[in-house]
């Protein structure tokens, strides 16, 4: 499992092409890990949008890509973001994150599975994510 944020750097932030350099870099990393015989799970907010992955040239190296979006009620999300440490910058982006959460809940692509975490703590959410991954790998 990899967290996409470890590569979030100014030189990879290309909003004009929907962060294509960032996404392509991650797909290339995942492809090379997969070549070693390991399945890859990549976590990242913007990476959960199929339009950010499916049109990339590196996507062709994967027989399947599965999407899971963690969503919750807006008041719960706002509170979770407010309690994050200030250095993460989440407090300044609450409205943006609420809109992204809303997009998944209202207009998400059908290939994205939604996991509502409103009533779950971190441990329960992690267990649900592990169960989803195991189910997806078993069906592959």
- Asked if residue 104 belongs to a domain, the reply is yes
Asked if residue 7 has pLDDT above 90, the reply is no
Do 2 and 60 lie in one domain? The reply is yes
Asked if residue 14 has pLDDT above 80, the reply is no
What gap in Å lies between CA 43 and CA 67, rounded to an integer? 10
- What domain range includes position 6? 1-65
- Asked if residue 13 belongs to a domain, the reply is yes
User: What number of other Cβ atoms are within 10 A of residue 138's Cβ?
Assistant: 7
Say if CB 128 and CB 115 are below 8 A apart. yes
Do 78 and 113 lie in one domain? The reply is yes
Do 25 and 55 lie in one domain? The reply is yes
- The predicted model gives 6-26 an average pLDDT of 82
Summarize pLDDT for 53-62 with one digit per residue, the tens: 999 999 999 9
Asked if residue 131 has pLDDT above 90, the reply is yes
Q: Domain tally for the chain?
A: 2
- Asked if residue 100 belongs to a domain, the reply is yes
More confident residue, 21 or 77: 77
- Asked if residue 134 belongs to a domain, the reply is no
Asked if residue 116 has pLDDT above 90, the reply is yes
Q: What is the pLDDT of residue 60?
A: 94
């Amino acid at each position: 499992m990899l967290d996409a944020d470890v590569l979030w750097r100014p030189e990879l932030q290309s909003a004009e092409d929907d962060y294509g350099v960032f996404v392509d870099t991650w797909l290339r990393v995942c492809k090379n890990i997969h070549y070693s015989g390991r399945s890859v799970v990549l976590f990242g907010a913007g990476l959960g949008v199929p339009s950010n992955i499916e049109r990339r040239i590196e996507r062709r190296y994967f027989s399947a890509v599965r999407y899971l979006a963690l969503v919750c009620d807006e008041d719960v999300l706002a509170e979770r973001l407010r309690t994050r440490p200030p250095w993460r910058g989440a407090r300044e982006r609450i409205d943006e994150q609420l809109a992204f959460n809303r997009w998944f809940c209202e207009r998400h692509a059908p290939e994205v599975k939604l996991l509502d975490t409103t009533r779950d703590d971190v441990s329960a959410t992690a267990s649900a994510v592990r169960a989803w991954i195991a189910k997806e790998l078993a069906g592959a």
